[in-house]
């Protein structure tokens, strides 16, 4: 019986070793396969201002998993990126998104600033609506709507994280005119327009609330993506 138990224990040890080895091989294979599934994306190696033309020194390559959400909408070819113009401020370390650059400078007209899949819609605002006049082209905003229902004003979040393409006639990449903020010496700026980049569905909601109620723009902070 003692020999039988020792033999059983030896067999169990051998099976455990073999099983562990098989598991190691399987994990090793998965690791190799995962590393083989990585792709190259471009990220900013330094901060880039609106309107700047990208050069090689602005970019570096990074490896990410092929299924990573960081890959969505990014540019992977250095050759395709060099010479593009920044439509929005970009910071070091963020992926280079195709929607944030154009092959034409920002001064080429508003149409070249509109990201793919979006349209430009302008809304009439004053300095109160556009957060004291501090909203500028290249910012991102939330759009709040106040609609009166049964003599009660109800506020709701209409749109979230919307790019600002232009304020009045100043577009992304243009130099803002001095004294553009509203005041006693600049009364015309009390009534101006803000042009937003929205989807077609967002445009419908924006126009509807603008017609039926009042709009407020909430400035979002600029953060590293």
Four-point Cα dihedral 150, 151, 152, 153, nearest 10 = 110
Q: What is the CATH number of domain 38-103?
A: 3.90.1210.10
Structure confidence by residue, pLDDT tens digits, 144-166: 988 877 767 788 899 999 999 88
- Across 103-189, the runs of DSSP E, i.e. the strands, are 119-125, 140-149, 152-167, 170-171
Structure confidence by residue, pLDDT tens digits, 165-204: 888 766 555 555 444 443 334 433 446 889 999 999 999 9
Rounded Cα distance between 188 and 34, Å, is: 59
pTM of the entire predicted model: 0.49
Domain with CATH 3.90.1210.10 in the chain: 38-103
Does the pLDDT of residue 77 top 60, yes or no?
Answer: yes
Q: What pLDDT score was predicted for residue 11? A: 47
Helix (H, G, I), strand (E, B) or coil at 183: strand
């Amino acid at each position: 019986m003692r020999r039988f138990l020792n033999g059983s224990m030896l067999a169990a040890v051998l099976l455990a070793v073999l099983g562990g080895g098989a598991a190691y091989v399987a994990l090793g294979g998965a690791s190799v396969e995962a590393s083989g599934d990585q792709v190259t994306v471009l990220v900013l190696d330094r901060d880039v201002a609106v309107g700047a033309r990208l050069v090689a020194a602005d970019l570096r390559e990074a490896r990410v998993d092929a299924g990573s959400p960081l890959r969505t909408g990014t540019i992977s070819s250095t050759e395709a990126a060099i010479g593009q113009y920044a439509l929005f401020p970009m910071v070091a370390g963020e992926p280079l998104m195709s929607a944030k650059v154009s092959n034409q400078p920002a001064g080429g007209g508003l149409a070249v600033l509109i990201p793919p899949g979006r349209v430009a819609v302008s809304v009439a605002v004053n300095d109160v609506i556009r957060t004291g006049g501090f909203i500028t082209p290249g910012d991102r905003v939330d759009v709040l709507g106040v609609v009166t229902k049964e003599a009660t004003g109800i506020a709701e979040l209409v749109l979230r994280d919307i790019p600002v393409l232009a304020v009045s006639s100043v577009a992304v990449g243009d130099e803002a005119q001095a004294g553009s903020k509203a005041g006693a010496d600049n009364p015309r700026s009390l009534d101006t327009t803000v042009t937003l980049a929205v989807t077609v569905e967002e445009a419908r909601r924006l126009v509807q609330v603008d017609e039926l109620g009042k709009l407020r723009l909430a400035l979002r902070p600029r953060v590293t993506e």
